[in-house]
């Protein structure tokens, strides 16, 4: 293994897996696998890039740090030459963490002297300019992310935000330097007096320049965009052969599970409802055990073949009311367990295509499917929409998964994902 990624959530893991598997057009990517949690055994010997997906974005700082260090240990044992700490392209974190403390711990463990910080992902509208993060044409703090229930992003200045989280110093590599090329970026990194350097990037070209400058860096941090040019560093110096995402996908019974309450997911749900059966999970019913996985399964079984979709997704007000009544953690645990139990039962019944919306929900479902199949490595297939590939697990009776980040995907994402799992456009 050459590149090892520690992803702070599962959808983020499949986002960066997609990027590493694709690489730069015409130059190819790496043979890539995504793992739900830290694997117990060794990785297959034909994997160049391995992504360990954690649920460390918004848990306690100490847990995020220890899980990330455990993932680092496993990746180094697999031979990785470069580690990428992948966080969200909207820099989801609080003034306490977890990005800063995890980056502190990883850089100390790797003895990394200068570490680039770049969440830019231009294909989904996230760009960094003058150290500030934009979503489309608005600052992060005006993009809706200021109201995020767990990690409200109220300051778009990444340097100021990160300084609250880290004991190390934070500097900046401005766009004027990035646009001059990789030599100048490298010189700026080497000459900087600060440890963490927020790097501006507005286009994929800027990300490629940064990646070229990061050849040989033991630790890189960012969104999936910063990974765009990393495979070709290894391909160009002869350490890896160029590859394309090859996971084959599957056909067979299907289900869509949506726990995400983001605006994008709710829009995709509204689109899907126009011509497909959907089932709204009664969350209070789940909390007092009057709704169980059997209700969800009955609906899915009755509507198989017609892209049945189960959702808990609610408006911000509905979510707030339910959280106030039952407690945020209790609701999240109960819904995660419900989706995981449903996914396990679907696998047992021979369901082969499962589309999931939401990072937390994807974590619960992917872990359950991998456990049920006893197959920890997810192979990377075609890209459905920016940042979301088809994933395939298992050998004899493979299962395809799509793990959609809350904010990703076009309005017709759900049907497109099911089609692409079968190898159609
Ligand atoms: N109706 C609801 N009421 C209260 N909480 C809900 C409801 N539906 C889902 N949730 C909770 O909202 C959270 C959704 O998180 P999830 O990470 O799956 O989606 P997301 O935040 O949109 O996605 P991402 O992390 O990829 O941006 C989960 O913790 C889930 O339990
Ligand atoms: O970077 C992103 O926006 C996504 O990969 C993500 O992290 C989803 O939670």
Q: What is the DSSP letter of 158?
A: H
E-assigned strands of 328-385? 353-357, 378-385
Task: Give residue 25's pLDDT band: very low, low, confident or very high (50, 70, 90).
Answer: confident
Task: Give residue 248's pLDDT band: very low, low, confident or very high (50, 70, 90).
Answer: confident
Residue 245 domain-assigned (yes or no): no
pLDDT at position 83: 98
- Residue 111, preceding peptide bond in cis (omega within 30° of 0): no
Decide which of 206, 236, 266 is a domain's last residue.
Answer: 236
Residues 179 and 73 grouped into a single domain: yes
- Give mean pLDDT, residues 207-213: 98
pLDDT at position 368: 96
Decide which of 174, 203, 236 is a domain's last residue.
Answer: 236
Ligand 1 centroid vs 112 CA: distance in angstroms?
A: 35
Around ligand 2, the residues with Cβ closer than 6 Å are 9, 11-12, 15, 88-90, 121, 223-224, 359, 387, 405
Residues 287 and 331 grouped into a single domain: yes
Kindly report, residue by residue over 171-202, the tens digit of the pLDDT: 999 999 999 999 999 999 999 999 999 999 99
At which residue do the structure tokens 């350097």 appear? 197
Task: Check residue 90 and give left, alpha or beta (phi > 0: left; psi -120 to 50: alpha).
Answer: alpha
| Interface predicted TM-score (ipTM) | 0.97
Residues 280 and 391 grouped into a single domain: yes
- Alpha-carbon distance of 358 to 216, in angstroms, equals 34
Number of domains in the chain: 2
CATH number, domain containing residue 284: 3.40.980.20
Residues 188 and 259 grouped into a single domain: no
Could you say which ligand is closest to the alpha carbon of residue 265? Answer: 1
pLDDT at position 150: 81
- Alpha-carbon distance of 7 to 378, in angstroms, equals 14
Structural domain boundaries enclosing 46: 3-236
Could you say which ligand is closest to the alpha carbon of residue 5? Answer: 2
- Give mean pLDDT, residues 399-425: 94
- Give mean pLDDT, residues 56-85: 97
Residues 208 and 280 grouped into a single domain: no
- Give mean pLDDT, residues 259-280: 96
* Burial category of 371 from C-beta neighbours within 10 Å (exposed 0-12, middle 13-18, buried 19 and up): middle
Is 255:296 a contact under the CB 8 Å cutoff? Answer: no
Residues 226 and 299 grouped into a single domain: no
The radius of gyration of the chain's CA atoms, rounded to the nearest angstrom, is: 20
Residues 174 and 42 grouped into a single domain: yes
Residues 130 and 205 grouped into a single domain: yes
E-assigned strands of 163-231? 170-173, 196-199, 219-222
Decide which of 203, 236, 269 is a domain's last residue.
Answer: 236
Determine which residue's CA is closest to atom 31 belonging to ligand 1. 332
The tokens describing 302, both together, are 């009755």
Residues 151 and 272 grouped into a single domain: no
pTM: 0.95
Residue 417: pLDDT over 80: yes
CB proximity list for 232: less than 8 A, separation 6 or greater: 23, 24, 27, 28, 211
Residues 60 and 125 grouped into a single domain: yes
Residues 191 and 314 grouped into a single domain: no
Determine which residue's CA is closest to atom 4 belonging to ligand 2. 12
Residues 286 and 376 grouped into a single domain: yes
- Alpha-carbon distance of 364 to 357, in angstroms, equals 11
């Amino acid at each position: 293994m050459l590149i090892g990624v520690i992803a702070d959530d599962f959808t983020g893991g499949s986002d960066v897996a997609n990027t590493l598997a694709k690489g730069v057009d015409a130059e190819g990517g790496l043979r890539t696998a995504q793992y739900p949690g830290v694997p117990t055994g060794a990785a297959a010997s034909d994997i160049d890039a391995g992504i360990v997906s954690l649920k460390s974005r918004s848990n306690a700082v100490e847990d995020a740090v220890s899980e990330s260090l455990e993932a680092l240990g496993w990746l180094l044992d697999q031979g990785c030459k470069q580690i990428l700490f992948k966080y969200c392209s909207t820099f989801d974190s609080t003034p306490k963490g977890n990005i800063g403390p995890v980056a502190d711990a990883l850089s100390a463990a790797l003895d990394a002297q200068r570490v680039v910080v770049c969440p830019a992902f231009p294909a989904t509208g996230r760009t960094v300019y003058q150290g500030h993060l934009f979503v489309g044409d608005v600052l992060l703090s005006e993009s809706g992310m200021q109201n995020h229930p767990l990690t409200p992003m109220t300051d778009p200045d990444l340097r100021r935000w990160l300084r609250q989280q880290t004991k190390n110093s934070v500097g900046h590599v401005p766009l004027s330097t990035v646009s001059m090329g990789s030599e100048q970026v490298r010189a700026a990194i080497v000459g900087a007096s600060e440890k963490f350097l927020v790097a501006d990037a507005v286009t994929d070209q800027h990300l490629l320049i940064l990646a070229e400058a990061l050849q040989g860096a033991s630790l890189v941090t960012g969104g999936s965009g910063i990974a765009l040019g990393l495979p070709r560093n290894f391909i160009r110096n002869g350490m890896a052969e160029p590859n394309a995402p090859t996971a084959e996908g599957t056909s067979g019974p299907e289900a869509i599970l949506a726990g995400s309450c983001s605006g994008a997911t709710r829009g995709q749900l509204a689109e899907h409802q126009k011509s497909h059966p959907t089932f709204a999970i009664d969350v209070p019913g789940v909390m007092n055990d009057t709704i169980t996985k059997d209700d969800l399964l009955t609906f899915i079984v009755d509507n198989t073949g017609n892209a049945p979709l189960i959702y808990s997704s609610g408006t911000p007000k509905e979510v707030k009311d339910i959280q106030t009544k039952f407690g945020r953690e209790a609701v999240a645990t109960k819904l995660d367990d419900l989706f995981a139990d449903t996914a396990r039962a679907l696998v047992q019944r021979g369901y082969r295509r499962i589309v999931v919306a939401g990072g937390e929900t994807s974590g619960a479902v992917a872990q359950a499917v991998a456990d049920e199949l006893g197959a920890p490595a997810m192979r990377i297939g075609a890209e459905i929409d920016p940042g979301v590939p088809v994933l395939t697990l298992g050998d004899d009776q493979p299962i395809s998964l799509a793990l959609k980040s809350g904010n990703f995907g076009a309005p017709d994402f759900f049907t497109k994902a099911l089609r692409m799992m079968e190898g159609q456009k």
